[in-house]
A = this chain, B = another copy of it.
Amino acid sequence: MTMALPWPFRALIWFCTVVSVSFAHKNVLFLLADDGGFEMGAYRNRIVQTPYLDALAKQSLIFNNAYASVSSCSPSRASILTGMPEHQNGMYGLHNGVHNFDALGRVRSISTILGEAGVRTGLIGKKHVGPGEVFKFDYERTEEQFSVNQVGRNITNIKLFVREFLRDAKDNPFFLMVSFHDPHRCGHITPQYGSFCERWGSGEEGMGLIPDWHPIYYVWDELILPYYVPDTEPARRDVAAQYTTISRLDQGIGLVLQELKNAGLEQDTLVVYTSDNGPPLPAARTNLYDPGMAEPMFIRSPDPKSRRNEVTYSMTSHLDLVPTFLDWFNLSYPESNSLNPLTGKSLLPLLYTEPPVDPDHVVFASQSYHEITMAYPMRAVRTKRYKLIHNLNYQLPFPIDQDFFVSPTFQDMLNRTRQGQDLRWYKSLRQYYQRPEWELYDLKLDPAERKNVHGKPVVKEVFERLRVRLAKWQEATEDPFRCMPGGVLLDTGEFENNATCFSLGQ
């Protein structure tokens, strides 16, 4: 009889009967890369060598349509940890230095919720979110106590911290987030270590030594570049450096998983791997084009019945992670008068059954700032086939962050533009800077998002349907930017229970 029920109910029943009684206690190990993309064998990159990530993938459900909800480090981490888009959790841009963004004090993060439920929480590596009271872990070894390289890139230290955390974790369920700083750039901060810190800890003179790291080097002219990277020597050398850094991430993943195994906790622990946002390359990080928001994701369940080395094509979002973690711990999101319910949903059912294809299934994304000066808010909705991007400050040129600006890739693009040379890229720099208010891409015909079809009669209905869905999501998630451009949001006084956009008559 259950065959007649729609998929989510079937999956739910299956999950409840099959899974929930299987484990004495349940843990989560959450592995997060920093600016990592699909640079690994598991996602069919044939050059970069990532044996540990590939091994994890083989034991995991592999997500082929997982998306960040925002393409910037602090906002993405805050969205992952709160289950809310950046415009709802208040972390509109980078937390560090003069950018000074923080989540709203009223927001509750997964670490707070789990901590209150008796789950021991830990964070090792890069934190990059605040305020402290919103993102509080029982065990923290982050850049707030150490140099970020020593907790985020020194995989020997990471291994030892994980060992320390797990030693005290035997009696309680735990949630441990290991937040690698690789493969983030570092050329703007510590250029002496290379543009991706690929020399740091390599054992070369002056570079120090990370005992557990065996760097892998790549020949720049033998790489196969993704379409969004210009095919130039500086960009190729940049990507080769990125790949070397990925060997540190990959081996770090291996060390952490070995620690879990050594502690005898592998059979009690859900392992999740993803990255905060796309690589620091053109059209990627800080963009809502796919190179910016499409993310690698694996979920490895200890349940032998889970789908291992299978691929899910379900449309999924980082906003689904908080519901997933809560589901894993059999907890529900705390009710509150001041916060709307989360819009994500648990991914655990996917571990057992692939749902039927639903062309209307969407993910949403929202970006407002990165650096404090980069006021380029964008909102996006993506189905499997279409993506609609709303550029709210489209009158401005698309902003370039410091980190990316100094990169060899971008410097070369700039020089070529100045000298009138071929960029060996799929756009001109001017096209990259100047964007219209609306961008609509048919990803089936145009996966590289080269041809904006907004305004074409054939997609008029698609546009209208997506526009309305996006607006409704912005409303449901209380987006302060939802009346932009050209409008003012009133949501206090007589509009307190009836928030309304009013036109500025421009």
A residues adjacent to B (C-beta < 8 A): 90, 92, 98-102, 104, 131, 187-191, 368, 371-373, 375, 377, 393, 395-397, 400-402, 405-406, 414, 417-418, 429-430, 433, 478, 480-481, 484, 486, 488-490, 492-494, 502, 504-506
Residues in B neighbouring A100, C-beta threshold 8 A: 90, 92, 101-102, 104
| Other-chain residue from B396, B490, B506 in contact with A433 (beta carbon distance below 8 A) | B506
Given contacts A98-B480, A405-B490, A429-B505, contact A396 B397 (CB under 8 A): no
Inter-subunit contact A397/B506 (CB<8 Å): yes
| A372-B481, A405-B490 given; 5 more Cβ-contact pairs under 8 Å | A100-B102, A393-B393, A397-B486, A400-B488, A402-B492
B-side contacts of A417, CB under 8 Å:
505
In the assembled complex, how far is the CB of residue A287 from the closest CB belonging to chain B, in whole angstroms?
16
CB–CB A488/B402 < 8 A: yes
A190 to B104, CA, bound (A): 24
Contacts of A396 in B (CB 8 A): 393, 395-396
CA distance A506 to B488 in the complex (A): 30
Point out which of A99, A373, A502, A506 has the most chain B C-beta atoms below 10 A from its C-beta: A373
Given contacts A104-B100, A397-B504, A480-B98, contact A92 B372 (CB under 8 A): yes
| Least CB distance, A369 to chain B, in whole angstroms | 8
| Nearest Cβ on chain B to A218's Cβ, whole angstroms | 24
- Which among B131, B372, B377, B414 is the interface contact of A505 at CB below 8 angstroms? B414
CB distance from A37 to the nearest CB of B (A): 23
Whether A373 pairs with B505 at a CB distance below 8 angstroms is no
Contact of A189 (CB < 8 Å), options: B368, B484, B492: B492
CB nearest neighbor in B for A478: B98
**Cβ-defined partner of A375 (8 Å) among B375, B405, B494:** B375
Complex CA gap A188/B489 in Å reads 11
Question: Chain B residue with minimal CB distance to A368?
Answer: B372
* Contact across chains for B92 and A504 when beta carbons are under 8 A apart: no
CB closest residue in chain B, given A414: B505
Report if A405-B488 is in contact (Cβ < 8 Å); known contacts: A190-B493, A372-B480: yes
A393→B394 CA distance, assembly (Å):
11
- Residues from chain B with Cβ under 8 Å of A395 in the complex: 395-396
CB distance from A399 to the nearest CB of B (A): 8
What 6 pairs across the A-B complex have the smallest Cβ distances? A375-B375, A395-B395, A405-B488, A98-B480, A90-B100, A191-B493
**B residues less than 8 Å from A375 (CB atoms):** 375, 393
> Complex: how many Å from CA A481 to CA B369?
14
Q: Which residues of B are found within 8 Å of A433, using beta-carbon distances?
A: 504, 506
**Known contacts A90-B98, A488-B405; is-contact A493 B400 (Cβ 8 Å):** no
Please tell me which one of the listed residues B190, B481, B494 contacts residue A373 in the complex, with CB atoms under 8 A apart.
B481
Most buried by B among A92, A375, A397, A433: A375
- Complex Cα distance, B498 from A339, in Å, reads 45
Residues on B with C-beta less than 8 A from A484 are 373
